[in-house]
Structure 1
Amino acid sequence: MNQEVTEQQSQIQALIDNIETVVVGKRETIELTIVSLLAKGHVLLEDVPGVGKTMLVRAIAKSLDLDFRRIQFTPDLLPSDVTGVSIYNQRDMQFEFQPGPIMGNVVLADEINRTSPKTQSALLESMEENHITVDGMTRELSSPFFVLATQNPIEYEGTYPLPEAQLDRFLLKLKMGYPVKQEEMMMLDRTTHEHPIETVQPVMTKSDLLAKQKEVQQIHVSQSVKQYIVEIVANTRKHPLIQLGASPRASIALMKAAQAYALVKGRDYVIPDDVKYMAPHVLAHRLQLTAEAKFEGKSDKELLEDLIKKTMIPVERG
């Protein structure tokens, strides 16, 4: 095993441990969120209120000593409230750009489905291109740049479902779920006097994170594993219960997620199991099921797991 990759893994595990002091019992969700961050992707976190979605992103920002910004999406929010706006300065007799909250390193887009599609679209350019355009001028965003958006799955009145183009910008869609009783007791113990988020200290610097993002790009992906990725994605387009399959962008996303996951696990190469594990998290939110599938109560992840089982796993021959 590459010594440098082993050291990278140790640092990443220390980061996950640090975040887990705030978000109890959700190690898999924390790990997957870090995978997305390392792959330069973004996360859509769908769950009920009060399970720690905001604490997760705050803990990540503090553990990495990054600039944290929060956008509370509401029906009256305007695109300029996200990107920023040019204001006329009477003293200098010229317009000055006042940056919006999107200009941070770690951005929490809270309850993203509560705002209009017009405002939701303000995130599209930033999440895909890492820059924004205001008044015809393009402005680069900070690096690293990571968006974690939340949405409540149980309230539908006054919400605007994210369109396919917006969903496609998220590398992963995750859920947290309720803690078990022992974990909930631990939360009470830790918050008796003060919330642990107040005492979280950085365990990694911005430059460390940027170096790890470059390291992810160097993780080896063999031709047979690439073929495996393409087969899985192509099969989503042929499944009788899937109306709209995953796009070529999904293939790229799955490869990048698998590379990041391999680094987290201390390897400098991707194995088929990395692809199998990441596929439901990367692909499920990019699919549209048929009316028949919905009538039968099938879920996107259930169909994906069935599809992956039927896709032949590549075998390396030395």
Structure 2
Amino acid sequence: MDTSDPSLPPMGAALPASLAFRKNVVCYTSDASTVVEFLQTLQLPYSIWDDYDCIEAKSKPETGMVLVLPNVDKTLALQQDKLAKYLQVMRSQDTPFFTAIATVSPGFVPYAHMTAYLKRQFWFACAEPRPQDLVELSEDEIEPLKVTLRQVHVHPSVRRYVLDIIVHLRIHRFAKQASGGGCSTRALGDMLELCQTLALAQDRSFVIPDLVKLASEWYFPFHLELIQDPRHEISLQFGSDPDLVTQLIDKLHSFSLQRTQETQYPLYFQYMVLRDVLEKIVPAI
């Protein structure tokens, strides 16, 4: 498996496309005020929730809005599912733009601390905003950005390449088979839109395979659901030694924990699984 150092995507690269595609993102930060200050600098309208009681009664804005959701990883499962429903409704609302930014602590593990329903409402996870992440972005530029992004061409072979990655992740030996490894039916559309975003950032009018790999590194580690119990490892069904499988998984968990501490990248085990898949698939030509 590839052990090169990964990193979370920068907030400055994530936010413009999130607004254009009406996507929500997760931000790894222990202080939600860093996100608020970032939005204030960009002069974007925002609202911050200070509690998660009676989510179903929360007002739904009719104008463009960025919703800041602090400490989502500390909410109850019932609150998370109600929040997921709220975000799902807002995605279909007729507003100029809407994006939710959920902040989570550095130790957050998506499939352990977030319900599957809520996790599907988010595009990917990004890093805490930094001054160098600031971009020139105004409300008037969001609509033209939508049009430009949709014009980035995705060749059928590139689309097939993305599908191959999804299929191989779903059947990976460390993927949680009951949930398809966390690759939901939204994965294809989410990935293609992320590829268009990265292409436009490089002033390209079409998506190339290298951008698919980069998009995969941004998107899939947040969504992958991996087995926690070695007894669920799929090769046991074909005669693998349970003791050896347990030793393998324990060593990989220990290695990923060490690398997480060294690289400050919280999704290292998921990243290793993704790199294993990417090395096995022939990219589109």
Instruction: Give matches, 1:13-28, under 5 Å.
Output: 28=10
CA distance in 1, matches of 2:106, 2:249: 16
Deviations for 1:245-303, whole angstroms, at most 9, x for unmatched residues?
21231111111111111112211211111110011221122221123476331501111
RMSD: 3.2
Partner residue in 1 for 2:226: 289
CA displacement at 1:206 relative to structure 2: 1.5
What is the aligned counterpart of 2:82 among 107, 122, 144?
Answer: 122
Give the deviation of 1:105 after TM superposition.
0.8
Structure 1 residue 66: Cα displacement: 2.8
Question: TM-score if structure 2 supplies the norm length?
Answer: 0.72
Equivalent position amino acid for 1:249 in 2: R
State the one-letter code of the partner of 1:128.
Q
Other-structure match for 1:302: 272
**How far off its partner does 1:212 sit?**
0.2
The yes-or-no answer on 1:174 pairing with 2:150 is no
Of residues 175, 189, 201 in structure 2, which corresponds to 1:252? 189
Gaps of 5+ in 2: 1-7, 231-247, 257-268
Report which of the two structures shows the higher radius of gyration computed on alpha carbons: 1
Residue from 68, 72, 86 that aligns with 1:112: 72
Q: Contact between 2:27 and 2:104, CA under 8 Å: does it hold in 1?
A: yes
Q: Is the 8 A contact 1:38 1:260 kept in 2?
A: no
In structure 1, the residue matched to 2:245 is: none
Count, aligned residues: 238
Q: Name which of 16, 19, 43 aligns with 1:34.
A: 16
Which structure has the highest helix share of the two?
2
> Aligned partners of 1:255 and 1:155: how far apart in 2?
26
Instruction: Calculate percent identity across the aligned residue pairs.
Output: 18
Normalising by structure 1, what TM-score? 0.65
Greater strand content: 1
Taking the aligned partners of 1:256 and 1:209, their CA distance within structure 2 comes to: 15
Kept in 1, the 8 Å contact 2:174–2:227? The answer is yes
1:72 partnered with 2:50? yes
Aligned pairs for 1:135-150 within 5 A: 140=93, 142-150=95-103
Q: CA 1:214/1:40 → structure 2, altered by over 3 Å: closer, same or farther?
A: farther
SS of corresponding position for 2:152: coil
